[in-house]
Structure 1
Amino acid sequence: MPRFLHVADVHLGFDRYDNKRRTMDFFYAFQDALERYAIANPVDFVLIVGDLFEHRNIQPNILNQAQVCLQALKDAGIPVLAIEGNHDNRPYGARTSWLRYLADWEMLKLLEPGDISAGEPFYFPWDEDAKRGGYIDLDCGVRVLGSAWYGAMAPQAIAQTAEAIQALPPGPNATVMMFHHGLEGQIARYQGALRYKDLLPLKEAGVDYLALGHIHKNYTYGDWIFNPGSIEANSVEEVDFDRGVYLVDLDGATIQAELKSDYVQRPVVRLRCKVTESDEAEQVLETARSVVQSAIERQAVRPEEEPVVELRIGGYLGFNRLDLDTRQLQAELKELSQALILLLKFEAEQREYTTQVTEGSDRQTIEREVFLDLLAANATYRKQSTALAQGLIDLKDLQLSDRPETELYSFVETLLAGESAATDEGTANDPMDEPELN
């Protein structure tokens, strides 16, 4: 019974957070997944269904990571069959790529359609001497077909591919095809996904197992479409996805595909907290610290694992956001959690207070309402906004009357002293609600 490992979206060289250790995580995950599920109990072959690399142009150390993993498979006698994805495909007009380089050095077999414009057939069998071909018939009784990255032209390419498959000579009983594209309805905000009926011609042409890549979330469809998701989380949003590699057994017409995700991966933790308009800046800081500390105490965050941590702060602010040093807060939380990367997403907003001013209102009324709106938006001054608004109007009148600066300063001190006393009294009589924690 043929057995193979279906891998996609490895993204070696991932550098989104400009952190070398995070980049290494993708190598360690790939290496460990291969060791556990392809080498320890040898499979007949391994599929890499696009995006082995994060970028088309890679650094020598990233190429070395790929070679280390592929050499281990080669030493174990396990063939690797691959296609290009949108991240690592050759630019239009280019004749080579890093996957082509690996194929030339016999580290993998890059299965891709022929150049029809040059007189080549769409599909021709893998040639070990030329190290080229669009499909291969393996000794284990499986025919594996390759493809290219088609982008928006995928529906038209599928029709052409299906016709080419039907024209192939008879082969093994089981046919597997690699195709780097996404199926609609699997994730939000993804334009250009294929409909099921777009892919159906491939099934009708004889494809028993359609191995997809591109979408970083695991899904299956119709008992013949399989997408394992990415090896590692490429963003914090992906931590909520099932992801991994497929270990597949082909037993005649029966497909047994088991998603495997028990391999080395760095923990990614998403935390939330909500602040209210009654919170002052220091209370917001303390709320954020408390959420992270609570996550540590319940072991959702394990500092010894140096996780990637995201904290989103939502709700409404009762003060100017510039009064909050978010950079210092981020540094504090990173130290507290011992996170490799601490992402602080500050999404709390300042509520707009807009008092309706009736048509024909006099200047002083308009000024008072403007002052009231500004003061009500700040938690420090909200309770005394009426008195302070009148005080600001009086202060303006004093200044327009050319009163000396000493008198103006004295007026402000008296005004603020009265506000402070009233606030203290209000706090004693009316305790502030606790901030909401999630």
Structure 2
Amino acid sequence: MLTLGHIADTHHGHRQYGLTQREDDMVSSTRTAFEEMIDDGGTDAILLPGDLFHSRDLRPKILHQTEQVLAEVPDDVPVLVSRGNHDENLTPREVTWLNYLHQRGHVVFLKADLSTDPETAQFERYDPDEPGEYAGFYDIETTESDGPVRVFGLQWRGARTGQALQQVANGIRKTNKEYGEPAFTVLLAHFGMEDEVPTLGGTVTHAELREVKDVVDYLALGHIHKRYEASDWIFNPGSPEAHNTREGRDDWEHGYYSLTVKPDALGSGEAVNFDVTHHETKRRPYYRIEFDVTAYDSPGELESAFREHVQSERVAVEKYCQKSAYTAHGEPRSPIIDLRFTGTLQFSRGDFRTDDLAAAAEEQCDALYVQVNTGIRTANVQQLISEIDEEEVFKDGRLNTAALEDRVFETITQESVYAEQASDVAGVLGNAHQMAQAEEAVEDIRESVSSARRELFPDFAENVVLDIDEDPFGDSTDDASAEGDASLDEGDEVPEVVNE
């Protein structure tokens, strides 16, 4: 019997919310999962299809911790790794940290040579005596069959994945012809399936996998941070840790697989049967607390009611954190609180001090961190919506979105530090929105907003820089966006635009 462990998206180095403890959580969750794989009946290899690291730029501490975890894996259990979008983008450096770990013997870095032949991927066999910078495939020899269990690797390709999969299918056939047919074939890859995450760009369809399915028995995926399975051969375990409040919900499963291939299936010449079991990882709990602000007429009244509400949730929070998945060495981990405010605020938004309320929740629940999500309206905005003049915002039976936007922007601005020139600021916001809809360059939008701010508020504008790292209006399916933040793997929640 041969057993493989399948884990993905460990994201070593992710200092979530700027917390060192969350950075350490990423490593400890990986370590515990490796220990379970090895101790619970043993494993013959560990598969890790992408995003071992959260960034290709590592702090020394992260590399050191990762090497320590890998050094604890027995020498006869290879850790087979492929590249994810966080490990390296589509224009990799000459030497990466995965190359380094490969050359040091900590992992076997598997990737396909896709540049030599546009039709057929080239796969070099791993040679422990001359490992090189990477390998194309790794053979796990078995005594129960004439052929090995053969593991191939495909690196992150973003929107080019479909083309790469055709090359991989041809390359596997060529490799098997040269080195002999395996008893069982695994492919490590880093992408999402469209029916699992339809809103994520760069996903793969089942049609694009038809050729691969003919030559692969088990597709070991990473990239999407929740568990899913498809067609009895595609498996994605979910990241060991949740990386945002949406991923922390109970309907997002996180963990790793153990894959067992029975001896009588190997080398039988028929379709290979195997058993797959999913295991929850030990991780940091997320707990959601919701609070409706509608009934409270003053900040003091709201704060008192909020503290009472959080106090009433304490028992539920403690019970939730005692679940086996959230305990480390028998002790519950302090939770991350997903604090959500809803409803209509009856007083000025400027008097709604979410930082103070979050601090109170953190203290009362013994939380590691409180993530605030504010989905409220103020009474003024609510009144605006109820009093909108149909003749103003509807013309010939059609919605005049420009007029509606102007009213909304002006009402929101009246509750901000720019209230004295609310009409002018509303015009700036409306213009920026129109420029974005027209797909004008982000640099032009930035300059438009900055120059208007300098003109309207010269006292505020000194030493202010509007920092936009990337085009927020770009096509999420193109290569530049696809190779970006895999925190969207899971499907991040779109941040709400709020006026603090």
Taking structure 1 as the reference length, the TM-score comes to 0.77
Kindly indicate whether the alpha-carbon contact (under 8 Å) linking 1:42 and 1:78 is maintained by their aligned counterparts in 2.
no
Determine whether 1:207 maps to 2:209: no
Asked whether the equivalents of residues 287 and 337 of structure 2 are also in contact (C-alpha less than 8 Å), the reply is yes
**3-state SS of paired residue (1:143):** strand
1:81-111 deviation line (CA, Å, top 9, x unaligned) = 1101000026615221101100000011111
Whether the aligned pair in 1 keeps the contact of 2:50 and 2:222 (CA below 8 Å) is yes
Residue of structure 2 aligned with 1:352, choices 382, 391, 395: 382
Partner of 2:151: 144
Q: CA deviation at 1:37?
A: 1.6
Query: 1:287, 1:208 → 2: CA distance?
Result: 57
The answer for the alignment partner of 1:179 in structure 2 is: 189
Aligned residue in 1 for 2:248? 239
Q: How far 1:188 moved relative to its partner?
A: 5.5
Asked if residue 6 in structure 1 is aligned to residue 6 in structure 2, the reply is yes
Given that 2:218 and 2:235 are in contact with CA atoms closer than 8 Å, whether structure 1 keeps it comes out as: yes
C-alpha distance in 1 between matches for 2:99 and 2:39: 24
- Look up the match of 2:104: 105
TM-aligned CA deviation for residue 209 of structure 1: 0.2
Kept after mapping to 1: 8 A contact 2:290/2:340 = yes
CA contact (8 A) 1:179 1:213 kept: yes
Partner Cα separation in structure 2 for residue 291 and residue 29 of structure 1: 32
Q: CA RMSD in A?
A: 2.6
Q: Structure 1 residue 215: deviation in Å?
A: 0.3
Residue aligning to 1:432: none
What's the offset of the Cα at 1:38? 2.5
C-alpha distance in 2 between matches for 1:191 and 1:349: 31
In the alignment, structure 2 segments of 5+ residues that lack a partner are: 143-147, 266-271, 323-331, 392-410, 416-500
In structure 1, distance between residues paired with 2:141 and 2:239 = 29
Per-residue CA deviation, residues 123-182 of structure 1 (Å, 9 max, x unaligned), is 121122331320122113311011111111000111111111111222321101101111
Residue identity opposite 2:137 in structure 1: Y
Q: Which residue in 2 is equivalent to 1:53?
A: 53
Which residue of the partner structure matches residue 429 of structure 1? none
Aligned residue for 1:162, secondary structure, equals helix
Residue 324 of structure 1 is matched in structure 2 by: 352
Shift of 1:302: 5.3
Corresponding residue for residue 82 of structure 1? 81
> How far, CA to CA, are the matches of 2:298 and 2:350 in structure 1?
12
Counterpart amino acid of 1:191? G
Q: Specify the structure having the higher radius of gyration (Cα).
A: 1
Matched letter for residue 352 of structure 1: Q
**For 1:323-366, what per-residue CA distance to the aligned partner results, in whole angstroms no more than 9, with x for missing partners?**
2222222212111111111112222111432457899xxxxxxx
**Deviation at 1:117?**
3.8
Residue 229 of structure 1 is matched in structure 2 by 238
| Alignment map for 1:13-412 (pairs within 5 Å) | 13-75=13-75, 77-89=76-88, 92=91, 94-114=93-113, 116-117=115-116, 122-131=122-131, 132-140=134-142, 141-168=148-175, 169=177, 170-187=180-197, 189-204=199-214, 206-240=215-249, 241-251=252-262, 252=265, 253-261=272-280, 263-276=281-294, 279-298=297-316, 299-300=318-319, 305-350=333-378, 351-354=381-384, 355=387
Contact 2:116 2:122 in 1 (8 A): no
Aligned AA for 1:32? T
Partners of 1:49 and 1:161 lie apart in 2 by 15
Inter-partner Cα distance in structure 2 for 1:271 and 1:319: 22
Counterpart contact for 2:114–2:164, Cα < 8 Å: no
Q: Distance in 1 between matches of 2:308 and 2:296?
A: 17
Please give the TM-score of this superposition, normalised by the length of structure 2: 0.67
Deviations 1:19-76 (A, max 9, x none): 001110111110001101224532110001100000001011101111111111134x
**SS of corresponding position for 1:349:** strand
For the residues of structure 1 that align with 2:390 and 2:68, how far apart are their CA atoms? Answer: 75
Conserved? CA contact 1:218–1:228, under 8 Å: yes
Q: Distance in 2 between matches of 1:109 and 1:65?
A: 18
Q: Which amino acid aligns with 1:208?
A: D
Q: Distance in 1 between matches of 2:390 and 2:116?
A: 74
CA distance in 2, matches of 1:356, 1:302: 47
Does structure 2 conserve the Cα–Cα contact (< 8 Å) formed by 1:296 and 1:302? no
**Shift in CA distance, 301/229, structure 1 to aligned 2, threshold 3 Å:** closer
1:248 partner SS: strand
Judge conservation of contact 1:229–1:242 (CA < 8 Å) in 2. yes
The answer (yes or no) to whether the contact 2:52–2:87 under 8 Å persists in 1 is yes
What secondary structure sits across from 2:283 in the alignment?
coil
Letter in 2 for 1:258: T
Identity of aligned residues (%): 31
Q: Which residue of 2 aligns with 1:421?
A: none
Deviations 1:199-249 (A, max 9, x none): 221112x10000000000100000000000101111121022011000111
Deviation at 1:185, TM superposition (A): 2.2
Contact residue 90 and residue 157 of structure 2 kept, 8 A: no
SS in 1 for 2:241: coil
Aligned residue for 1:73, secondary structure, equals coil
